[in-house]
Chains A and B, each alone.
Chain A
C-alpha cells in the first residue's frame, strides 16, 4: 500500500519561495502521475500541477509562471516549488499519486497535507 509523507516549511514571508517534498513509501514511480493540489482555508480544491515518471510536467495556467514540480526517483520523492508567494498562496498543500496502473492520472492516494501560511 503506497504512503505519501509530506515535509516542508509551513510559514513564509511574501516574496519567498514555497518548497515542499513528498516522500513515497511502498510504491514505484514508474507508470504514475504525481500531483500537487492545494486548498485555501475554508475553500475548495485547486490542482497545481503534475509530473509523470518520465519528468514531463503540466501546470494550471494561473500558476504556470511561478511553479516547478520535480521528481527524484533515487530518493523516492517529488517536490513542489512556488516562487514569489503572496497571502493568496496560503493553503493546505497536498501531494498525490495516480490511483492505479489503469487510472494512473487520477489523484487517488494523497499525502497528509501541509498548511503553508504566507504572512509578513
Chain B
C-alpha cells in the first residue's frame, strides 16, 4: 500500500492528451512539492518533473506538472508511442525525521 495514491493504469491514442493524478496527505503533498518519474520497461526511473512543475533539461515541454493542496497531476500532451511507461509521483513526508514517499505508479498505454 503506497502512501501516495495513483490510478494503476491510463491510456490514450497518439496525439491525444493524458493526465495522471496523484493524491496524498497533509504530511507529504500538503507540505512539500511533488516530483514525477518515468520508468521505461527494464530501465531505471528518470526524473521527469521536479518541484511541481520544473522540467529537467532534455524533457520535452509536452510534459507538465501541477499541484494543488494534497493532489498533483502530470499532463502529457501530443502523446507518442515512446511515452508508454510507468509514471510515479513522489514527495517528501515530514512525519518523524522525514522520508520520501512514492505513489504506486500508473502504467500508461499508448493505444
Interface residues of A, Cβ cutoff 8 Å to B: 35, 37, 44-47, 49-50, 58-61, 94, 99, 103, 105-113
Which single residue of chain B is at the shortest CB-CB distance from A33?
B100
Known contacts A58-B98, A60-B99, A45 near B50 by CB under 8 Å: no
**Nearest Cβ in chain B — how far from A58, in angstroms?**
5
List B contacts of A107 (CB < 8 A): 47, 90, 100
Q: Interface of B with A (CB < 8 Å)?
A: 2, 35, 37, 44-47, 50-51, 56, 88, 90, 92, 96-105
List the count of A-B residue pairs having beta carbons below 8 Å apart: 54
B85 to chain A, nearest CB (A): 13
Give A41 to B58 CA distance when docked, in angstroms.
29
Q: Bound complex: CA of A105 vs CA of B103, how far in Å?
A: 18
A106 with B50: CB separation less than 8 A: yes
